[in-house]
Structure 1
Amino acid sequence: MTVSRLLVSALVAASALSCTLALAQQKLVPAQSEIVFVSKQMGVPVEGRFKKFDAQIAFDPAKPDTSKIAFTVDIASATLGAPESDAELPKATWFNTAKFPQATFQSTSIKGLGGGKFDVSGKLSIKGASRDVVVPVVLTQSGATTTATGTFPIKRLAFKIGENEWADTSMVADDVQVKFKLALTGVGKF
């Protein structure tokens, strides 16, 4: 092998390694992030949130189709802000956190739409049920922080959230909006 070929091979390997290391250094900043869910109870919007969640991210804005995102939410961290309601959420009728402590999302494809907008398709699993979802995401950058925001709908009954007498959608609507703001570090410029 000639010296120039060896040098080119070393540069290619270093470039691939630096790209891999950059992707490996992407981190969620929980203190600047939030996941909120909004449902309607007797027609009135009620907002809840999850206090604990984590993400494993390998996102390249220049090559979104090669990127992967995995999310884990500690379901027992759900709160509606009222002690009586918060005591009900972990029970089997609602989230059954003893049997299903986590909800997960695993991306299957990411499509760039331009202007910092992406469609992230994947599997959302809650309470033992998995569904395909498409999550629209908008990215903005400020300094070293990239913020991903978006909203997507789910049907709570598709995930068995609110069983038995709570399956009646006249009390608690089936439609739930999931809203998120995720602060990330280590994402390349786009």
Structure 2
Amino acid sequence: VARAGDIAGRNVILFGAGPIGLLTMLAARLKGCGELTVVDIAEAPLAFASKLGANRTIDLSSGDEELKALASHRAIDVAFEISGTAAGLAAAIDSVRRGGTVVQVGNLPGGQIPVAANSVMAKEINLHGTFRFDAEFDQAVDLIVGGEIDVLKLVTAERPLSSARDAFRLAADRSQSVKVVLTAD
């Protein structure tokens, strides 16, 4: 969230409601963002985002009309691309207002990815990348230890280590879980 600058009171949209997206959402809330919208292609993660405090969720599995309407009627100041998809990055660039900020968190697939560079230029978008393996770990630990962010809210199931195979199957099913924790037998 730090790469987006001061987001206090600013309207934020996140593309991707997996564990990293949900943690980014909690961090944006902690930093005092304004209206917060979460976008995904699956209903269950979006329902979870609503429970955690998203003001609005948009399910892209049935088209992007709602996203286009939101972008045209509301000033989206900051977009976080967390899905790790070229479509997510394109939607983030499309949805943010002129002069807004896009932060790419998700790892895009290898190879050449088309990017709407003319939109970045014409809309004067600030495009930032972030690689979450630096000071963020220390900051995250401090927030967790200090009780400012409760990561246990993302744990949707616990399974004993002897049931690891079933735990991994459950973890892979986005309709049933966010994070599955393995425990000692």
Same fold (TM over 0.5): no
**TM-score, normalized by length of structure 1?**
0.22
Greater fraction of residues in strand:
1
Bigger Rg, which one: 1
Greater fraction of residues in helix:
2
**TM-score, normalized by length of structure 2?**
0.22
Higher relative contact order (CA 8 A, sep 6+): 1
